[in-house]
A = this chain, B = another copy of it.
């Protein structure tokens, strides 16, 4: 089997375990057992557990952005875009998005929580993901709202509502959070 395959196996299985249980709760040996890969192979591909974690964050970032971009593709109007956005979140929250695994909140929020130091590389990568999301919103809203102030305002609202409903769904167990958030966003765009 090619090297890249083993590496990918490791990243995918590690990501699934880290997301389901948290980073510190999962040991290297558990990752190896789940992946069916020898320990030496892991350390041939990654210098340390930290390097594996970083690869998992990057993988999750790419996977989430890909999924989210597909689901929010249609920006033919503000109403349509917002509709699709919160429908996507609702599907994720209620485990109808298998690409993202069983819903356990935001992987980046969860991971950042386990690393106190702001300077840590891992926390920086988590921050990068949120910036990617913001840029995605900005890109999709660009053709829909000409006025920059209004556009930035809606971008901020969508960021806040997205983060809010993911965390309310996860910690409060409010599985209706995305459905609740949707009309709050549409009420805002109706004024534009």
A65 contacts the other chain (CB 8 A): no
CB under 8 Å from chain B, chain A span 156-178: 156-157, 159-165, 167-168, 170-173, 177
Residue of B nearest to A184 (CB): B157
Are B171 and A164 neighbours in the complex by a CB distance under 8 Å? no
Chain A interface residues (CB < 8 Å from chain B):
20-22, 24-25, 104-106, 108-116, 118, 126-127, 130-131, 134, 153, 156-157, 159-165, 167-168, 170-173, 177, 180-181, 183-184, 187-188, 191
A sample of 9 more A-B contacts (CB under 8 A), given A22-B113, A130-B168, is: A24-B24, A109-B171, A127-B171, A153-B184, A156-B180, A160-B160, A160-B165, A160-B177, A160-B180
Compute how far the CA of A113 lies from the CA of B165 in the bound complex, rounded to whole angstroms.
15
Compute how far the CA of A153 lies from the CA of B147 in the bound complex, rounded to whole angstroms.
28
Task: Tell me which residues across on chain B come within 8 A of A170, comparing CB atoms.
Answer: 109, 112
Are B159 and A160 neighbours in the complex by a CB distance under 8 Å? no
Copies of this chain per assembly: 2
Are B22 and A131 neighbours in the complex by a CB distance under 8 Å? no
Residue of B nearest to A118 (CB): B173
Compute how far the CA of A127 lies from the CA of B115 in the bound complex, rounded to whole angstroms.
22
Task: Tell me which residues across on chain B come within 8 A of A112, comparing CB atoms.
Answer: 105, 170-171
Residue of B nearest to A183 (CB): B153
Compute how far the CA of A153 lies from the CA of B105 in the bound complex, rounded to whole angstroms.
23
